[in-house]
């Protein structure tokens, strides 16, 4: 019971800068949720250097990386060696039996397939933090279902305002800049961005033109 009252400290390791921005905005737009994204890293090496400062409870770790560590599964043992007890959730664009087998052997406690919904992600973080192994629990089925729902949820079109805000956000503008440009308040921009994330899922790759 006491664990539920604790703030869950999370770090993200993913070499996709836009995905990291989306995740920061997602966490910031969740008032009252006792899950904090302490920092997002574009490389595993940078995250490992600061592990003693960030002191995360849970790591969201992308499976496909650039740099010294090319796969997230190679990072997991190093994370455990430097911070025993840390919980790792492996994030991947495609989850197959091999990734699950290698990930479980390395010590991953959960697997998330992109795109995913905010509700599914936060449910998995809580479950893993509480000591569950999401690949074997009810949360595992939920997160896979959430990913599938996020794919079909794209059939629900964005409103004109949501599309406008998404376009500005993907162009690199901050929430404050978007609010100023559109004459909105920043909480309103947060609400629209959250709606975009719910409708489209987090981590959806957009077609190149």
User: How many domains does one find in the chain?
Assistant: 2
Residue 46 and residue 134 share a domain: yes
140-193 pLDDT, tens digit each: 443 443 344 444 444 578 899 988 988 898 888 888 899 999 999 988 988 888
pLDDT in tens, 98-150: 888 899 999 999 898 888 888 888 888 998 998 865 543 334 443 443 344 44
Helix or strand (DSSP H, E) at 207? none
Range of the domain at 27: 2-153
Per-residue model confidence as pLDDT tens digits over 30-69: 766 789 999 999 999 999 999 999 999 999 999 999 888 8
45 and 144 co-located in one domain: yes
- Rounded Cα distance between 83 and 138, Å, is 27
Q: What is the DSSP letter of 134?
A: T
CATH number at residue 171: 1.10.10.10
Range list of β-strands (E), 15-99: 35-41, 58-62, 87-92
pLDDT average, residue stretch 3-32: 84
């Amino acid at each position: 019971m006491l664990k539920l009252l604790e703030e869950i400290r999370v770090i993200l390791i993913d070499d996709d800068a836009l995905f990291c921005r989306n995740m920061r905005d997602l966490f910031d737009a969740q008032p009252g949720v006792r899950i904090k994204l302490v920092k997002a890293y574009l490389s595993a090496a940078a995250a490992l250097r600061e592990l003693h400062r960030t002191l995360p409870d849970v790591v969201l770790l992308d499976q496909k990386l650039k740099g010294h560590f090319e796969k997230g599964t190679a990072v997991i043992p190093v994370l455990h060696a430097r911070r025993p007890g840390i919980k790792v959730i492996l994030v991947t664009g495609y989850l197959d039996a091999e990734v699950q087998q290698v990930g479980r052997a390395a010590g991953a406690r959960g697997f998330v397939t992109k795109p995913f919904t905010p509700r599914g992600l936060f449910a998995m973080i809580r479950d893993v933090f509480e000591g569950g192994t999401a690949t074997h629990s009810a949360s595992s089925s939920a997160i896979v279902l959430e990913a599938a729902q996020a794919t079909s949820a794209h059939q629900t079109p964005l409103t004109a305002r949501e599309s406008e805000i998404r376009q500005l956000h993907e162009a690199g503008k901050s929430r404050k800049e978007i609010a100023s440009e559109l004459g909105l308040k920043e909480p309103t921009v947060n609400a629209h961005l959250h709606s975009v994330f719910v409708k489209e899922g987090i981590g959806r790759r957009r077609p190149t033109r």
